[in-house]
Structure 1
Amino acid sequence: MTTELTRLVGVRHPLVQTGMGWVAGPRLVSATANAGALGILASATMTVDGLREAIREVKSRTDAPFGVNLRADAADAGDRVRLILDEGVRVASFALAPSPELIAALKEAGVVVIPTVGARRHAEKVAAWGADAVIVQGAEGGGHTGEVATTVLLPQVIDAVDVPVVAAGGFFDGRGLAAALAYGAAGVAMGTRFLLTSDSPVPEAVKARYLAASVRDVTVTRAVDGLPHRMLRSDLVAALERAGRASALVRAVRHAGAFRRLSGLTWHRMVQDGRALRHGRDLTWSQVLLAANTPMLLKASMVDGRTDTGVMAAGQVAGVIEDLPSCKELVERVMTEAVEIIEGLPGRESEARDRATGE
């Protein structure tokens, strides 16, 4: 299936595996790429040296195109951009809007720039700055999310910009891909669905929690970092929501120190990142400090397997996913379903007959 997305990035199928922190490492990204979709390596939880090693490991596992997700507001964003240029990475994705200068530098080097946005105005802004495409995430998506459903947000953005639009938030099968294409999207991006594959590095006990979840077990809370965050309900989430702001701030300071040691960042650089985060999202310093919770709470579950002390970011689709296919099996299934649905739409049968009879 050829779309604007497949032509732009050189993959076989219009599917994107999103850059999930602690999850989208070399193993998952290379499996996705080998399956013919676009895998995105998550770099925010890696040091620069760690990112270099991860990129080279992906390249050792696949010859297919892949991307790297970057934090545009990070103090070392320039170092990471130079790294992906040196390593010949095909795609740069961003969770926050990159500056016009950063977009221009990447495009000049031949890198495809695909920011993720959650509002029409943000899509219009990055498209005007030169972004090659946008991923549009509706409220159904996991992790930090907005309030507008994909079915409302997606057509708004498609009508507003002239670049390819990839739909995210609520997608997990071929029906969703067919629907997104009908809206005018160039493909779909999936996080939770790729997290729940046999190629995902997430511990099996954590995957089991996701598979056992119903749609009602997925919630949105501000208790983790002061921002709307979609995740699985758990005793920890309930405890965080009951906790007072003072205890939350103490915990955030402790987690900030742990993340500093893990990431290799200096306190000075972390303060710089905090200032950028505060400016980019109009946050208070209290909210910025609370944001230190997120990387370590996610690591506790996604790496250490501690569902009791970690949070589990999840799209609403976690409540309807029931198996753990390989990335290859998942991509083949999604594409087969989508093609069958599209070919079975009313009017397609007569088109096929006309082609067969030459009419």
Structure 2
Amino acid sequence: MIKTEICDLLGIKYPIIQGGMAWVSDANLAAGVSEAGGLGIIAAGNAPAEWVEKEIIKAKQLTDKVFGVNIMLLSPYVDDVVDVVVKHRVGVITTGAGSPGKYMDKFKSIGAKVIPVVASVALAKRMEVTGADAVIAEGTESGGHIGELTTMALVPQVVDAVDIPVIAAGGIADGRGFVAALALGAKGVQMGTRFVASKECTIAESYKEAIVKAKDRDTVVTGRATGHPVRILKNKLAREFLKLENSGATKEELEKFGEGRLRLAAREGDVKNGSVMAGQIAGLINDIKPVKDIIEDIVKEAETIIKNLSQLVGV
């Protein structure tokens, strides 16, 4: 069995983390992943603290395994969300869109493991100094908000720059990607898009089907002009957004145009006019199956690859 220090750090069977995706990562998905041996994550996104608390309580009813909460630090409700997470003594906290330094003492007071998502070496170093237990190095292949460096380039540079464990994210959906991440020096992987196409994910079936139907070049990056680029599947919204962006629209106009579009796709099922966030790996995903099968298939494939590589080098 593949076991790394991430397993011991987080108290999980496999070093596989489910990404925190707004409007997607709820208690059902998080509990399913944790039950299957990975680390499930509830995404707070821009949701109010009341919603986050309800999902935490529900997750605890669905599983006795450890799970985490992803906190978006730019959320208008971030202070209240932090208080809820501390109140319920959530074991793992991942963060995005900023530094969790302001809240680190609160997190540490309940013994939580804090793992920020980073897209650069500089940010990874800063998070280590801040007291992070590990970092998630997320490449531009990811769905949703992205950085510029690819996973292949980013992960080994972050591994070399910090002394805390690094988890690789972006463009990983099978055993091959898992083994590649380990070869780059990562101690685990985070996957988002692969877990969207799962039975436990409660979003609209049309969203999942859009991922299954996607080909290798079916994602596009929108919003670069706003300073917050987002990778989504090509659709009517993407075409209209890029047209507006290329016409010189202001940041405010672009943000207003994109407001509510993720919910429209994920919860209402409008995959033409909504924002279908997905990574470039969507072209490799051909089915919708239980998270237990997803994780076990990935681990089994990875173990086979490692065994074959060992034979190849005569180990």
TM-score (norm 1): 0.82
Structure 1 counterpart of 2:179, one-letter code: A
Structure 2 counterpart of 1:108, one-letter code: S
Aligned to 1:322: 286
User: Shift of the alpha carbon at 1:349?
Assistant: 8.2
User: Shift of the alpha carbon at 1:106?
Assistant: 0.8
Q: Judge conservation of contact 1:223–1:237 (CA < 8 Å) in 2.
A: no
Cα distance per residue 1:303-355 (max 9 Å; x no partner)? 0001122010110001121011110000000111111111221457854xxxx
SS of 1:92's equivalent in the other structure is strand
Change beyond 3 A, Cα 1:158–1:294: farther
Q: Report which stretch shifted further, 296-305 or 179-188.
A: 179-188
SS of 1:318's equivalent in the other structure is helix
SS of 1:325's equivalent in the other structure is coil
Matches within 5 A, 1:70-149: 70-149=71-150
Structure 2's unaligned 5+ residue stretches are none
Matches within 5 A, 1:1-359: 1-222=2-223, 227-243=228-244, 287=251, 290-291=254-255, 294=258, 296-347=260-311, 351=315
In 2, Cα distance between equivalents of 1:244 and 1:41: 32
In 2, Cα distance between equivalents of 1:109 and 1:330: 32
SS of 1:78's equivalent in the other structure is helix
Q: Report the structure number with the largest CA radius of gyration.
A: 1
SS of 1:243's equivalent in the other structure is helix
Change beyond 3 A, Cα 1:224–1:49: farther
Structure 2 counterpart of 1:163, one-letter code: I
Cα distance per residue 1:57-111 (max 9 Å; x no partner)? 0000000110001122334322211211111210111112324231232123201
Percent pairwise identity = 36
Q: Judge conservation of contact 2:142–2:170 (CA < 8 Å) in 1.
A: yes
Change beyond 3 A, Cα 1:63–1:244: closer
In 2, Cα distance between equivalents of 1:200 and 1:224: 32
In 1, Cα distance between equivalents of 2:252 and 2:240: 20
Change beyond 3 A, Cα 1:295–1:148: same
Aligned to 1:257: none
In 2, Cα distance between equivalents of 1:99 and 1:211: 35
SS of 1:344's equivalent in the other structure is helix
In 2, Cα distance between equivalents of 1:96 and 1:146: 11
SS of 2:260's equivalent in the other structure is helix
Q: Judge conservation of contact 1:230–1:313 (CA < 8 Å) in 2.
A: yes
Cα distance per residue 1:2-61 (max 9 Å; x no partner)? 212111110100001011011101111111111010111011242211111110000000
Q: Judge conservation of contact 1:134–1:163 (CA < 8 Å) in 2.
A: yes
Q: Judge conservation of contact 1:178–1:342 (CA < 8 Å) in 2.
A: yes
Q: Report which stretch shifted further, 20-29 or 292-301.
A: 292-301
Cα distance per residue 1:154-203 (max 9 Å; x no partner)? 10000000011000000000111111111111100000000011111121
- RMSD, matched Cα: 2.1
User: Shift of the alpha carbon at 1:300?
Assistant: 0.4
In 2, Cα distance between equivalents of 1:240 and 1:224: 11
Structure 2 counterpart of 1:168, one-letter code: A
Q: Judge conservation of contact 1:226–1:291 (CA < 8 Å) in 2.
A: no
Structure 2 counterpart of 1:331, one-letter code: I
Structure 1's unaligned 5+ residue stretches are 249-285, 352-359
In 1, Cα distance between equivalents of 2:125 and 2:257: 31
